[in-house]
Amino acid sequence: MTDSEKTDLQKDFLTRAGRNAEGFKRLFDALPNVLFHIADRQERIIAMNPRCLENCNAVRELDVVGESIADLFPSVIAEVYMARDHEVLSTGRPIVNRVYSHCADRSTTLRIMNVWPLYDARGRIIGTAAAYTDAASTSSMPDWYGSIKEVVAFIDRHYAERLSLAQLAKIANVSEPRFRRLFQSVMEMTPGHYVTTIRLNAARKLLATTDMLISDIATQVGFWDQSHFVKAFKRQRGLTPSQYRKRHWTA
């Protein structure tokens, strides 16, 4: 899709969404600590604010317009986003102030999520608008959330090292089976998926901002086998590391 086609897609959607949609979009463009995007019923991105673009490692909004959510986020994250969009699209009911874990940008804090349906002039749902902010307090969280947060912070510091389930469970001070269940409940993915996601996020930053060899990047972020790194990267990002570097190079 060319830039012109992307611009036309965005203009057409915002026109159908009503004259307030453009002002709504500009409001979120100005908010530095809010991640915001609009998607149509086909799960294509229509608009995205600067903070969310940074999260996607994109420079221009047109770089993501027309792309699917699955193209922009790791599969484990994209599946969560799409499920919540489907919930709103199918029921017409917004998701309001739902607390959830968000790791696409290696955040160790919970996020507050709001997803609202967008309608055309005939009252038909044509897409969703989603905004995410950091949770101001974890006072309403279960007592064991604190221990999982400690594990997440540890992984974020030591992702390039060899990490075992037993080691992480010890930090949380629970048995391995209980740790696995608690981690899955809070982070909506297994500990292994989280570690891999953090490593791949670190890798994509190096791919976009340095000229390091791909083999060296693989080792630096914690993959001991380059072929495993390439397969994992392509599975989550839909591109090989070389293809990703070509598309996102900013150095």
- Do the domain assignments include residue 49? yes
- Do the domain assignments include residue 140? no
- Do the domain assignments include residue 251? no
91, 165: one domain? no
Residue after which a domain boundary falls, among 94, 115, 134: 134
- Do the domain assignments include residue 75? yes
The continuous run of DSSP H or E covering 125 comes out as: strand 125-134
26, 123: one domain? yes
Q: Kind of pairing, strands 125-134 and 110-119? A: antiparallel
pTM to 2 decimals?
Answer: 0.60
CATH number at residue 108: 3.30.450.20
39, 114: one domain? yes
Residue after which a domain boundary falls, among 134, 165, 189: 134
- Do the domain assignments include residue 240? yes
31/95 Cα distance (integer angstroms): 20
Q: Tokens 């309403």 identify what position?
A: 140
126, 164: one domain? no
Write the pLDDT tens digit of every residue in 184-232: 877 777 899 889 988 988 898 899 889 999 999 999 999 989 999 999 9
123, 204: one domain? no
- Do the domain assignments include residue 149? yes
12, 128: one domain? yes
DSSP per-residue codes, 208-222: HH----HHHHHHHTT
Q: Which long-range contacts (CB under 8 A, 24 or more apart) does 84-89 make?
A: 84/113, 84/115, 84/130, 85/39, 85/43, 85/115, 85/128, 85/130, 87/115, 88/115, 88/116, 88/117, 88/128, 89/41, 89/117, 89/125, 89/128
Confidence band, pLDDT 50/70/90 cuts, at residue 167? very high
94, 156: one domain? no
Which range of residues forms the domain containing residue 83? 3-134
**223 or 84, which is more confident?**
223
Write the pLDDT tens digit of every residue in 196-205: 988 988 898 8
Alpha helices in 61-128 (DSSP H): 69-72, 75-91
169, 51: one domain? no
Confidence band, pLDDT 50/70/90 cuts, at residue 13? very high
- Do the domain assignments include residue 139? no
Give residue 132's identity as a one-letter amino acid code: Y
* The pLDDT of residue 230: 96
* The pLDDT of residue 92: 93
183, 120: one domain? no
CATH number at residue 234: 1.10.10.60
Q: Give the bridge partners for 95, in sequence order.
A: 115
Which structure tokens are listed for 34? 């809010």
Neighbours of 40 (CB within 10 A): 21
Which structure tokens are listed for 144? 């064991």
71, 119: one domain? yes
* The pLDDT of residue 251: 60
Confidence band, pLDDT 50/70/90 cuts, at residue 138? very low
Which structure tokens are listed for 182? 């608690």
Report yes or no: 221 and 161 within 8 Å, Cβ to Cβ. no
- Do the domain assignments include residue 105? yes
Q: Kind of pairing, strands 35-40 and 110-119? A: unpaired
Over 90: is that where the pLDDT of 250 sits?
no
29, 127: one domain? yes
8, 129: one domain? yes
- Interior CA angle at 70 toward 12 and 99, to 5°? 95
Instruction: Say how many domains are in the chain.
Output: 2
* The pLDDT of residue 106: 45
225/223 Cα distance (integer angstroms): 6
Residue after which a domain boundary falls, among 106, 134, 162: 134
Alpha helices in the chain (DSSP H): 3-16, 21-29, 50-55, 69-72, 75-91, 145-158, 165-172, 176-187, 191-209, 214-220, 226-237, 241-248
